[in-house]
Amino acid sequence: MERYFCTLLRRRERVRLALLGGLLASLYGALKLLSLAGLINEYWQRVLDQALITTIGALGLSIIYGFAGQFSLGHAAFYGIGAYTAGIIGKVWSQGSITFFLLALLAGTLAASFIAFLLGIPILRLRSDYLGIATLGFGVIVRVALENSNRFYPPLGGATGMTGIPQVANFDWIFWFTVGTLILVCNLIASSYGRAWLSIREDEMAADTLGINTTRYKITAFVLGCGLAGLAGGLYAYRYPYLHPSSFDFLKSFDFLLIVVLGGLGSISGTVVTAICWVFLLEGLRIILGQAFVDWRGVIYAVILIVTVLLRPQGLFSGKEWRLLFPSRDQDGTWGKEGKHASLRG
């Protein structure tokens, strides 16, 4: 009986993987076809790619804030570190080779992770919420450093921005990196890591008292989340011909934060859907409002945040998940249970 149950689970798991794989492949195929048929022009292709890149970065913050409950206001700084690290490697050494592109992405990811590690060690040992302030300050430092970067190393471009990175990252790369990230994150969430992160968000003191090494798990979440921001930054650098410090400032951090909060804390599906919708919404507003949008961006964000929090405080997905993303064994767990699992604190 027990054995029969196990094989059943495994079979369900195989079916799930086949379904998920099929679905992603058809999505990819459909988008490719649309673009080949000319239904997605260059402009909207850029927006779509940006949406996917934003998704990768937002998944990082979703781990840090949505799951582990660590409030970070400087996510874009790590996005910027990844972009500039990968970008400078591409600009100075790579001449557009794929190997170098992948190495540069790795370097961008590792650079962001490593700096997150250095920043996280002193701060995340504490139980209080200093991370928000520290990352806010760190974001400002990174912005200033990028603006003056040409003084240390002229190819970085400083306040005038950086050009000359080979545009290797096309839709294919970006799509499959997004899929890879999504699978990695879902796997971790449906494991001891995800449960430890949630337990810290829910009650750090109880988690600590019951044997969970909270510092270690908080640092893991922060390093991993910032690493994903770095990966997103690297892809961004290889996709768009122009890097500028203002693309990685506080408003960008606020972007990521909004996505995670609006999607519902503790929901991967919510993060993904909101990230994509958010980028298209912003682009729409940019088209409709023109220059006014740029001037009023901060106000628009604040209004959207306030309205959503008033109308739907638990976020769009309120902790619900798209079942296909998570292993069937977890149907016993938190995931995919309709309605009851609202995840916003308070």
Copy the structure tokens of residue 318: 């309120």
Which listed residue (36, 210, 299, 311) binds another protein by CB under 8 A?
210
Q: Which stretch binds another protein (CB under 8 A): 38-46, 73-81, 91-99, 212-220?
A: 212-220
Rounded CA separation 120/112 (Å): 12
- At 162, which amino acid appears? M
Q: How many CB atoms lie within 10 A of CB 12?
A: 14
Of residues 44, 45, 128, 65, the one with CA closest to residue 256: 65
Q: CB under 8 A: which stretch of 103-111, 147-155, 200-208, 283-291 binds another protein?
A: 200-208
Q: Considering only residues 46, 195, 312, 323, which one is a binding residue for another protein as defined by CB under 8 A?
A: 195
Cβ proximity to another protein: between 8 and 33 the closer is 8
Q: Which two tokens stand for residue 170?
A: 């096309």
Name the residue nearer to another protein (CB basis): 210 or 311. 210
Helix axis angle, 2-36 relative to 171-189, nearest 10°? Answer: 160
* Distance between CA atoms of residues 56 and 270, nearest Å: 13
The pattern of x and - marking residues 155 through 184 that bind another protein according to CB under 8 A reads: -----------------------------x
Span from 58-66, 98-106, 209-217, 255-263 in contact with another protein (CB under 8 A) = 209-217
Number of residues in contact with another protein under rule CB under 8 A: 37
Q: Establish if 16 lies at the interface with another protein (CB under 8 A).
A: no
Smallest distance from the beta carbon of 135 to another protein, in angstroms?
A: 23
Region near another protein per CB under 8 A, out of 25-33, 44-52, 188-196, 282-290: 188-196
Q: CA angle 255-58-47, nearest 5°?
A: 70
Closer CB to another protein, 94 or 314, in the complex: 314
Phi and psi angles of residue 71, each rounded to the nearest 5 degrees, phi first: -75, 115
Could you give the CA distance from residue 87 to residue 98 in angstroms, rounded to a whole number? 14
Binding residue for another protein, selected from 20, 64, 73, 196, defined by CB under 8 A: 196
Does 341 bind another protein (CB under 8 A)? Our answer is yes
Cβ closer to another protein: 142 or 186?
186
Report the residue from 207, 261, 275, 276 that binds another protein according to the rule CB under 8 A: 207
Helices 42-61, 268-289: crossing angle, 10 deg rounding: 140
Which residue from 156, 139, 154, 141 is spatially nearest to 85, judged by alpha carbons?
Answer: 156
Among 149, 214, 269, 271, binds another protein (CB under 8 A): 214
Please name every residue paired with 242 in a beta bridge, in sequence order, or none if there are none: 163
Query: Which of 206, 180, 217, 166 is closest to 63 using CA atoms?
Result: 217
Taking the alpha carbons of 170, 236, 262, 339 in that order, is the dihedral positive or negative? positive
Pick the stretch among 56-64, 147-155, 210-218, 297-305 that binds another protein (CB under 8 A).
210-218
CA 163 from chain center: how many Å?
24
Q: Does 11 bind another protein (CB under 8 A)?
A: no
Name the minimum Å distance from CB 44 to another protein. 33
Whether the CB-CB separation of 86 and 148 falls below 8 Å is answered with no
Which residue's CB is nearer to another protein, number 32 or number 195?
Answer: 195
Please report, as ranges, the residues that interact with another protein according to CB under 8 A: 6, 184, 187-188, 190-193, 195-196, 198-199, 202-203, 205-214, 220, 266, 319, 327, 329, 332-334, 337, 340-343
